[in-house]
Amino acid sequence: MATNSGKTQKIYPELCDFLAGKTDRIKGNHDQCLILPQSYVLSNKKLGMKILLVHGHQGDFFCDEGYPIGWFFTKYIWRNLQWIGLKDPTTAQKDKNPQKHELTRIAFHDWARGRKQTVMFGHTHYAESDPPYYWNCGSWVGNGGQAIEMIGNEITLKNFS
């Protein structure tokens, strides 16, 4: 951790445990067969704040409940059809499937706002935020990287591209 580690440990002890390896990652749509937690909750008792960390595939039928079907189609069918120019309808990436991206974004945004629950994810590969409840860090795949930075009780979306 950076020089702020003492302050971070006091405010987000669960985050420090997460980064220290007690939990190394959460389950995403590309590793459904692994035994990993689906989510992780960071709580700041002093501020009365909880942050839900998820991959972001939850609620996306072909990446969540229908994962075996989505996996089969992606591996054996869509991979081959993409070579001839057809687009994968299972992706939520904004540039590849804007309609599905928008549906995923709206679902998470409405869920977080409706519950006044901060949620952080990155499944759509497109960084965006609507503080204080909606934080999508995008992806480190493709054009650069984005991250959610938490310093004290301040949360910001940073672009590292």
pLDDT at position 7 over 70: no
Task: Please state, rounded to an integer, the average pLDDT across all residues of the chain.
Answer: 79
pLDDT attached to residue 2: 41
Task: Assess whether the previous peptide bond of 132 is cis (omega < 30° from 0).
Answer: yes
Find residue 157's DSSP bridge partners: 148
In degrees and rounded to multiples of 5, residue 25 shows phi and psi of -170, 170
Binned at pLDDT 50, 70 and 90, residue 22 comes out as low
pLDDT attached to residue 126: 83
pLDDT attached to residue 113: 94
pLDDT at position 89 over 80: no
pLDDT at position 47 over 80: no
Tokens of 60: 């996306």
Find residue 159's DSSP bridge partners: 146
Strand (E) positions, the chain? Answer: 39-44, 49-54, 118-121, 127-130, 134-137, 146-151, 154-159
Instruction: Find the mean pLDDT for residues 21-28.
Output: 71
* Residue 98 CA: distances (Å) to CA of 41, 92, 116, 154: 29, 7, 26, 30
Instruction: Find the mean pLDDT for residues 126-144.
Output: 81
Query: What pLDDT, in 10s, does the model give residues 94-122?
Result: 888 888 888 888 988 999 999 999 999 88
Instruction: Find the mean pLDDT for residues 76-93.
Output: 79
Sheet strands side by side (includes 49-54): 39-44, 49-54, 118-121, 134-137, 127-130
